Amino acid sequence: MTIGQGLPSGGRFDLHAIAATFPTTADTMLMDTYLTDSESRSIRLFRVYHGVPAHYHTQCDEILYVLTGEGTFWIDDPASEAAFAPGQLLVFPQRAIHALPKILTPSVVFLAIDTPRRAQDDVTFVGQPNETQPIFIAGI
């Protein structure tokens, strides 16, 4: 994706209406759509379909607001696994290893704010050779 490719730099977004456009099932772990994208930040809405294994991002902090659904997450230590639910905010600093091991409801949707911007390929899975990395993301 080219930075800002046809995306507004600001505006009003109906998150629930956008979330309703995501398919109910997917072969990928998640599907996302960029709402805004600039060098300083990207804002995305994404739906998680399957548990997400341990990984980190090299280019940004990832801030996730739980719009819908429930599951578990951990940061830095799998023993710290805890539940998340709508209305909660999860903050993953750049290079912090984190995971969403359990998706407990059929529709888990996050609003993501990445600073600076996050490229779709900025994900490094931990403990898995590159050729066995799962199918992570698809854009809509």
- Per-residue pLDDT of 16-66, as tens digits, reads 999 999 999 988 888 999 999 998 999 999 999 999 999 999 999 999 999
3-class DSSP state of 17: helix
Q: What is the pLDDT of residue 4?
A: 60
The predicted model gives 57-82 an average pLDDT of 97
Residue with tokens 């600093």: 93
The predicted model gives 73-79 an average pLDDT of 97
Partners of 28 in the β-ladder? none
The predicted model gives 83-95 an average pLDDT of 98
Burial of 49 (0-12, 13-18, 19+ CB in 10 A): buried
Partners of 113 in the β-ladder? 43, 63
Q: Residue 97 above 90 pLDDT?
A: yes
Q: What is the pLDDT of residue 119?
A: 86
Q: Residue 133 above 80 pLDDT?
A: no
Chain segment 98-124, per-residue pLDDT in tens: 999 999 999 899 999 999 998 888 999
Q: Residue 1 above 50 pLDDT?
A: no
Q: Residue 137 above 90 pLDDT?
A: no
3-class DSSP state of 79: helix
Between these two residues, 96 and 39, which has the higher pLDDT value? 96
| Distance between CA atoms of residues 122 and 109, nearest Å | 20
pTM of the shown model = 0.87
Q: Residue 139 above 50 pLDDT?
A: no
Cβ atoms of 53 and 128 closer than 8 Å: yes
